[in-house]
Amino acid sequence: MEINLAVLIDGDNIPSAYVKEMMEEIAKYGNPTIKRIYGDWTNPKLSKWKNLLLENAITPIQQYAYTTGKNATDSAMIIDAMDILYSNKVNGFCIVSSDSDFTRLATRLREAGMHVIGIGEKKTPSPFIVACDKFIYIEILKDQSEESSLESSDSRSRKKTSVDKITSKQIKLIASTISALADDDGWAFLGDVGSLLQKKQPNFDSRNYGYQKLTPLIKSIKNFEIDQREGSKGRSKLIYVRNR
């Protein structure tokens, strides 16, 4: 079943430079049937967004700042999200913001059975990240786009550098996830491992460590062993992993 998504963007909080990569990423998870961005469009700071809105069919929602120091955009997004929820027109939301004020909104939408994707900068507070089903750092989308234009040798060099960011804590998370799913011989289907990792840590993404997919990331870590098996009825090979 195709997921229809409502994409709600905090224009005061997200740089316009990421919009192309962001919309391409969102399309991987569903059909963005509603696309809205919130902000005070009389503010010159949002001027860079204006041409991009037409190119990406995003509807701007005007929200004046009524009081200094208060973010009226947050309230407008939350009210719209609840209206959309009760309209039954979508079965998922994408909240684009680095603001922890949307933590309760994400929680409430998930309670209603919605699939919630968060997109924000790496400065995003942890409570909002863990309130989502999946959270994507917007910086890796830009890095991914720039990396695709590099020569393969340079790209491999960058990946080798990025993988050093993996900590023992994250390796233990992968190892415990494999153990939880393993059969009697210790093997676990990598697709199931990836799904459970996402549930445990919504911002877990192999691209954070310089790898486009989970398989090459796992291969790069000496703690794990990979096994490729023939799929049934001519399907592509199935990847299994176990702890060494």
d(Cα 93, Cα 73) in Å, to the nearest integer? 17
Helix (H) or strand (E) holding 21: helix 19-26
Q: Are 37 and 124 in contact (CB under 8 A)?
A: no
**Amino acid (one-letter) located at 97:** S
The CATH architecture to which 4-144 belongs is 3-Layer(aba) Sandwich (3.40)
The secondary structure of the chain in percent helix, strand, coil, rounded to multiples of 5, reads 50, 20, 30
- 151-243, which class in CATH? alpha beta
- Provide the residue ranges of all domains of the chain, joining segments of one domain with +: 4-144, 151-243
Q: What is the largest CA-CA distance in the chain?
A: 63
pLDDT tens, per residue, the chain with 244 residues = 678 999 999 988 888 888 888 999 999 999 999 999 998 888 888 888 888 888 889 999 988 765 554 466 788 899 999 999 999 999 999 999 999 999 999 999 999 999 999 999 999 999 999 999 999 999 888 766 555 544 444 444 444 433 367 889 999 999 999 999 999 999 999 999 999 999 999 999 998 888 889 999 999 999 999 998 887 766 678 999 999 8
DSSP 130-195: HHSSEEEEHHHHHHHHHHTTS-HHHHHHHHHHHGGG--HHHHHHHHHHHHHH--TTS-EEHHHHHH
Domains 4-144 and 151-243 share a fold: no
Query: d(Cα 125, Cα 32) in Å, to the nearest integer?
Result: 25
- Look up the pTM and report it: 0.81
Contact 91, 114 (CB under 8 A): yes
